[in-house]
Structure 1
Amino acid sequence: MLAPKIVLITGANRGIGLEFVKQFLQLKSPPKHLFACSRQPETAKDQSSIDSANAFVASKVQGDGVNLRINNAGIGVLSNIHEANREVMAKVYEINAIGPLMVVKSFLPLLKQAASVDPAAPLSCNRAAIINISTSLASISGNTSIGFHGITSGFYGYRASKAALNMITTNMSLDLKNDGILATAIHPGWVKTDMGGPNALIDTVTSVTRVMAVMGKLQGEEGTGKFYNGDNGELLGW
């Protein structure tokens, strides 16, 4: 059963992130503390803002650490090979790949602290976990056509930055396994949000319900370093 004690979610001001907040608070055993974070564009590249957030969380959890970090914040830019440029690519990478890495790096002591509370427990989202919200569009093995639901675009920045996030996820899973921290990427489906648009297939309630069901089943070494389709719980190809 999914019941982490301390949860921190980025991109929680709207869409999938906000729905995560709502559904965690509705659990039979809701978190003791839930930190809902949102990005401020003017300070998105400022490491001090991340460190300040870490210090604030540490002051509130009082030694419990952070059990579950959900990296949900991200942007999608519709760009084909003719529209992609250095500025667009750099911006998308900064937010979708570099940002989550820097946030995890800053919060790592709190994740390790949570994992150490029960060192004999298997890897899980209740003990200590990093869940990176990715996309099926980041699957290199699944990228057999540049079309996506009628849109003839390669999504160069979005696909590439999320593929980078997937690699970061596998690195984390290997680096942090011995610390008792799980790290996995999950595709939430094509969701009706500002990013997904009105023609998307599912709403935020359906998406988050399914993703949380996947998170609840992640156990042990089999649950870490994977890329799951939140729609059905099946593995996606890297």
Structure 2
Amino acid sequence: MGELHVRSVLVTGANRGIGLGFVRHLLALPNPPEWLFATCRDPKGQRAQELQQLASKHPNLVIVPLEVTDPASIKAAAASVGERLKGSGLNLLINNAAALKANSLDTETLKDMSQVYTTNTIAPLLLGQAFLPLLKKAAQGNPGSGMSCSKAAIINISSTAGSIKDMLLWESEQCLSYRCSKAALNMLTRCQSRGYREHGILCMSFHPGWVQTDMGKKVGDMPPLTVDASVGGMLKVLSNLSEKDSGSFLDWEGNVVPW
């Protein structure tokens, strides 16, 4: 498979888990991004130490403060990134930040449902809106035909838990708000793919697998997939995406996941 070549990337929730994995893998590419924006709530806090260490070694890595549930924070992040890019546009937006509450159908609450939905579904919508001008600039700056992640793309990290058809692991882990929010995120991806097609922006959802992260370990046994295996697989898939893939739901190996 090909190798991802992209000038600028932004990853949300980049201080741990899959987000941090994306940062590490992107920095390690033979041709890493000229600009790699890694967002987290508190760039100077304890949870961002690994990001801080990476940024001290890689001048192309910029840590951006971002609270994805706060519209003002999203707008400030978009403005900050725009200043750095100086008119060149953002090629790849990876909406990775997510929340999980292991509530059942009987124990789900308004507070938890609202919090999870805001983080997992509404935030990717608002981030797409805020970064649309920069994504459009990137697409216009690559006038070639078709779509690709090197041109302009929004990648939403979803989950097979949001598959209405499969309903995997329901008997062991209901995680109601998480399932509902990811199913809604998949619909958002479909809407973005239709709405942003005219601008040349590719949009798709990823199931990263059941990964050995803090979130992944909340639901039962030890997850079978390492962060490196998941992220490495997704980057291979990203490098080969084209117009036909916009609006799709794929896993880390490029297989189609049922809606």
Same fold (TM over 0.5): yes
Q: Establish whether residue 109 from structure 1 lines up as the match of residue 133 from structure 2.
A: yes
SS of equivalent residue, structure 2 residue 80? helix
Moved over 4 A (4+): 40-44
Segment drifting more, 63-72 vs 136-145:
136-145
Offset, 1:118: 1.9
Q: Establish whether residue 71 from structure 1 lines up as the match of residue 95 from structure 2.
A: yes
Q: Establish whether residue 205 from structure 1 lines up as the match of residue 228 from structure 2.
A: yes
TM-score w.r.t. the length of structure 1 is 0.93
Question: What percent identity do the matched residue pairs reach?
Answer: 41
CA contact 2:40–2:66 (8 Å) conserved in 1? no
Q: Establish whether residue 54 from structure 1 lines up as the match of residue 78 from structure 2.
A: yes
Distance in 2, Cα, partners of 1:43 & 1:210: 28
Say if 1:64 and 1:136 are closer, same or farther in 2 by CA, change over 3 A. same
Distance in 2, Cα, partners of 1:32 & 1:24: 10
CA contact 1:72–1:133 (8 Å) conserved in 2? yes
2:184 maps to which residue?
164
Say if 1:122 and 1:168 are closer, same or farther in 2 by CA, change over 3 A. same
Distance in 2, Cα, partners of 1:63 & 1:145: 46
SS of equivalent residue, structure 1 residue 100? helix
1:143 maps to which residue?
167
After superposition, the CA RMSD in angstroms is: 1.6
Q: Establish whether residue 122 from structure 1 lines up as the match of residue 143 from structure 2.
A: no
CA contact 1:119–1:180 (8 Å) conserved in 2? no
CA contact 2:66–2:73 (8 Å) conserved in 1? no
2:258 maps to which residue?
237
Segment drifting more, 32-41 vs 47-56:
32-41
CA contact 1:123–1:223 (8 Å) conserved in 2? no
Distance in 2, Cα, partners of 1:229 & 1:144: 14
Offset, 1:145: 5.7
Uncovered stretches (5+) of structure 2, i.e. residues with no partner: 43-64
Report 1:16-35 matches (<5 A): 16-35=18-37
2:245 maps to which residue?
223
Distance in 2, Cα, partners of 1:226 & 1:105: 20
Uncovered stretches (5+) of structure 1, i.e. residues with no partner: none
Segment drifting more, 7-16 vs 74-83:
74-83
Distance in 1, Cα, partners of 2:109 & 2:249: 28
Q: Establish whether residue 182 from structure 1 lines up as the match of residue 202 from structure 2.
A: yes
Offset, 1:122: 1.7
Distance in 1, Cα, partners of 2:228 & 2:128: 26
Segment drifting more, 7-16 vs 193-202:
193-202
CA contact 1:121–1:127 (8 Å) conserved in 2? no
CA contact 1:124–1:223 (8 Å) conserved in 2? no
TM-score w.r.t. the length of structure 2 is 0.86
Count residues in correspondence.
Answer: 232
SS of equivalent residue, structure 2 residue 144? coil
Offset, 1:223: 1.5
